[in-house]
Each structure stands twice: as structure tokens, then as C-alpha cells.
Amino acid sequence: MDSLGVVMRVSLRRAMQGVGTLAALGASLLIGSQPAFASANWQEFSTNANWHCGDTKDVDPSGGAGVAAQTCIVANSSGYAQQVVVVSNYAGYAVWIDATIKERFGKLPTHNCNGSTLNSGFQRACFGQSVYVGCKGAFAMESFSDVQVSGSTTRTPSAFYRHYC
């Protein structure tokens, strides 16, 4: 093959890699701007300014301080909100976690999270359904979670959020 053919093939390959990189970047930007999807399964997460969380509470049934939980309300300026429970395990051993998330005023539906093993050194979140709560006037939301860790249930402190957009 002549040198022009090799240059064209290399250039085409680089162009296709660039298109793939741009497509992946565009997809990540699109997905990153959307609310998280509700799931009964525990998943990795990242927070931003839309997260409004209650205090973290020790939920380790052994009496140690190695497992903690926190309830959050995630609300955006488009009028959508969802509740989330986050569990962190730094106990040095795996624990079984399960949870139910509730909103006191009925603005967000109760959400049950599937039981799962949470290994030491990890954090996971369970996301409730994203619901359109509106943008007309301001109102309060209060969410809390009943978190079960290895058979022992503890209620998290409430997350409060005054919603307006």
C-alpha cells in the first residue's frame, strides 16, 4: 500500500476515535443533567447543589460508629423532586442493608429499597421516584428513612426542604 493510503487510514481511525469520544462526552453531559432514576437497588451516586440532606445518623447495630445513614431530598428548578437514602459502611466488615424512604406530607411516594450487602469502605444510595411537585408557590417537604442494618432498624433524622422554583 502506498504512503497516502496509510496516512488516510490512520487519519480515518483517529477521526472515528474523536467522534466516539465526542459521543461519549455528549452522552455523559446529557445523563449528568437528568434526575437520577428511581431504583429499589442500591447504587453509586454523586451529589450537587440540588441535594438537601438531614443529619447523618449512626445506624451500626453493634454500637460502633462504623455504619451511618442520611436521608436527602433532591429537588431541581424544573419542579421535580425525589428522596434518597445514603448508607456508608466504614465498620471493617460487610453489613446487610435495607430501607424505606417516606415523605411526611405526601408530596413524594414512599419508596422501598431492596436488601443488599454493603461492603466495608463503600457508600450506596437508594433513589425514590422523581416526581413533578410543581413550581407554583413555596411548600415544605420532609423526608426520613427507616434503615435496617443487619436486622436492626433505625430512623434517620429528617431532611427538610422548602421547595420553590
List of E strands, the chain:
51-53, 57-58, 67-75, 80-89, 95-103, 111-118, 122-127, 131-132, 139-149, 152-155, 159-163
pTM of the model: 0.76
Q: Give the start-to-end residue ranges of the domains of the chain.
A: 1-33, 51-163
Give the pLDDT confidence of 144-154 residue by residue, as tens digits.
999 999 999 99
- What is the average pLDDT value for the chain, to the nearest integer? 82
Residue 89's pLDDT is 97
Confidence of residue 22 (pLDDT cuts 50, 70, 90): very low
Q: Are 108 and 131 in contact (CB under 8 A)?
A: yes
Given a cut of 50, is residue 121 above it in pLDDT?
A: yes
CA pair distance 123, 70, nearest whole angstrom: 11
Residue 165's pLDDT is 75
CA pair distance 94, 97, nearest whole angstrom: 10
Average pLDDT over residues 12-38: 41
Given a cut of 50, is residue 3 above it in pLDDT?
A: no
CA pair distance 159, 140, nearest whole angstrom: 10
CA pair distance 44, 127, nearest whole angstrom: 10
Residue 23's pLDDT is 36
Q: What is the CATH number of domain 51-163?
A: 2.60.40.10
Given a cut of 80, is residue 31 above it in pLDDT?
A: no
Question: Residue 123, CB half-sphere, CA atoms under 13 Å: how many?
Answer: 12
Give the pLDDT confidence of 59-71 residue by residue, as tens digits.
998 887 899 999 9
